[in-house]
Homo-oligomer: A and B are copies of this chain.
Amino acid sequence: MLTMDSLIDYILRFGHLNTSEIASIKASATQIELKKGEYFSEAGAVPRQVGFVVQGVLRGCYYNQAGEDITRCFIAEDSLAADYLNLESHQLSTDYIQACTDCKLIVFSKAQWEGLSHTVAGWDSIKNKMVQLCMYQKSRKGPVVSQDASSRYLEFLKNYPDVMLRVPLRYIASYLGVTQQSLSRIRKNIT
């Protein structure tokens, strides 16, 4: 089916797969849909799934000490949705992963995700490359504390051009570390 193909294309960036390996990846995965506002993963629980975003935008978020909802990252098409370090170490997550729009995901349980190393040669290497790229991109595409708010906003537009149009401004504001009033003002001054 077509949505699975976008996952396979993605994985092929990181290593080679033969036909039977592709089949066993497809057999391990499940497709799910999330409505806007639903959670893929919740704080206070040990994460149990790895998701691949086929369609839609999600966000990683948490509540800070003041109880404010802070967006830590955006996860759009062709990337992994998972609290990976806590998944691996069986620790409680502090973050939620929430659908910002209606979403389609391909999901692996932890067991399926790890079990693929038995049927797919080089799966561990592929897996690690995917996870490391995710972490790296998150850190390099994220807002830079040494820039002012306008620059952070402009960088965000470059790094996530489509996300801007698909999620509420307040999520972007907390991601960029400004109030939504400030971001609205900044946006006005730029245009």
Contacts and interface: CB of A to CB of B under 8 A. Distances in A.
Interface residues of A, number: 26
A95 to B, nearest CB: 11
Contacts of A139: 135, 138-139
A-side interface mostly? helix
Interface of A: 64, 68, 70, 84-85, 88, 124-125, 128, 131-133, 135-136, 138-139, 142-147, 152, 174, 176-177
Contact of A145 (B85, B124, B176): B176
| Nearest 10 pairs of A and B residues by beta carbon | A145-B177, A146-B177, A135-B135, A143-B145, A85-B136, A128-B128, A145-B145, A70-B146, A139-B139, A146-B174
Nearest to A138: B139
Nearest to A125: B124
Most chain-B CB neighbours within 10 Å: which of A124, A144, A152? A144
Contacts of A124: 124-125
Given A124-B124, A132-B131, A146 B85 contact: no
A142 B125 CA distance: 28
Contacts of A174: 146
Contacts of A145: 142-145, 152, 176-177
Most chain-B CB neighbours within 10 Å: which of A70, A85, A174? A85
